[in-house]
Structure 1
């Protein structure tokens, strides 16, 4: 019987990382999860601890990373990913994108492992083209409040490509657009959990500006499938993975009100600095190279996600803040 391939997944206790752990466990890999739990939650992977092909390291990848034994693949998903996170811990956001990525690329090189990094649609900033193709270089303010996240990810792409071209390392870069599903945090500040959390608490739904800005929401299972295909493809350039079904924030709020059966109102707050006015992926490359496109409709995915949030303990639904530790 062939020995299991071994894969390291950083950010394993987070929303996306935990779903990736599930996928690779299902594919019979030996999964090594790593997370410092600053935004992750062990509850997301608690069901895996009983398995003999799963192990977990509580570790900050911004510090030296050591994993004993063979390693075939690395998925680097350790990073704050929502504005409420990276505005509260900006230094750690920059460090995990730079020092953390550098440490893991070094590990990948020493193990001769293929490494996939989680980049983001935020590398496009507030785009002047719509939809955004991979060739678009972006419109990013490096010293604005969102710059700590945007530039961390842009640097992450640059150093990953440098290791690919200079050292011949096998690398993959996925640019992730808005994704949703079970295990998101209700209080992470992103529009979907924010709207659903407000609806569950009987509050008005707060949108920024007049709600005319657009987003495109991809269900987590679709995203994981795209990442899986990209990892095992021969494509080393950045690739968009997301759902091109674009909707305004106001329309989305109205969908949430209808879904939750509430009578809340949509109210406007001032638009944050550098908030993208539009966000929609061009997935031509994913379709042609990976044979991938999203399958789960927004109505189907939202129902699953809403049922998950409704199942949370009442105190978690009512809690609106998130505390951070180890802010260096």
Structure 2
């Protein structure tokens, strides 16, 4: 069967709603509306983030490939960033934003939350010639610009 499988890793960018409950829109919403980004952890866990254009490029490369019944990680392994550094980067882009630490109201919030999440893109790079191009700083700047325009901020 010509089945195609992708495993997306932390895709973000324009079009993602501010109330999506993912870390990038959550931090952007906090920064844009309250000027205070709330971290519900110590900020040490790391993630890598993939700009939507790069993710779509990987999805299309998978779809159009002859590699059936294969799973491909699609993401960006270039920059792995801690949550505290992500908050600082978004705060820097918005300007005049504080960062605070709070405990989640959900008792199990940090249970089974990995300390590190970064895709191995070896297979996608080798078989699909997949190479993400938008770095995190540029992607966040584009995303924040879109949020400001889309939400009238």
TM over 0.5: yes
CA distance in 1, matches of 2:151, 2:15: 13
The answer to whether the 8 Å contact 2:31/2:94 transfers is yes
SS in 2 for 1:238: strand
1:309 and 2:137 correspond: no
Return the offset for 1:205.
1.1
Number of aligned residue pairs: give it. 147
Q: For 1:186-265, what aligned pairs fall within 5 Å after superposition?
A: 186-235=18-67, 236-244=69-77, 245-265=79-99
Q: Deviations over 1:167-196 (max 9, x none)?
A: xx2101000000111110101111100001
> Partners of 1:231 and 1:211 in 2: how far apart?
36
Which secondary structure state, in structure 2, belongs to the residue aligned with residue 185 of structure 1? coil
Q: Say if 1:204 and 1:267, in contact at 8 Å, map to a contact too.
A: no
Structure 2: gaps spanning 5 or more residues? none
Cα displacement string for residues 246-279 of structure 1 (whole angstroms, at most 9, x for unaligned residues): 1110110010110111231232324433222211
Structure 2 counterpart SS, 1:201: helix
User: What TM-score do the two structures reach when normalised by structure 2?
Assistant: 0.89
Give the whole-Å Cα distance in 2 for the aligned partners of 1:251 and 1:268.
Answer: 16
Offset of 1:203 from its aligned partner? 4.1
Please name the residue that 1:170 is paired with: 2
Contact 2:87-2:99 at 8 Å conserved across structures: no
Query: What is residue 16 of structure 2 aligned with on the other side?
Result: 184
What SS does structure 2 have at the residue aligned with 1:240?
strand
Question: Which runs of 5 or more structure 1 residues have no equivalent in the other structure?
Answer: 1-168, 318-328
Residue in 1 that maps onto 2:125: 287
**Does the 8 Å CA contact 2:16/2:25 hold for their aligned counterparts?**
yes
Specify the structure having the higher radius of gyration (Cα): 1
Aligned alpha-carbon RMSD (Å): 1.5
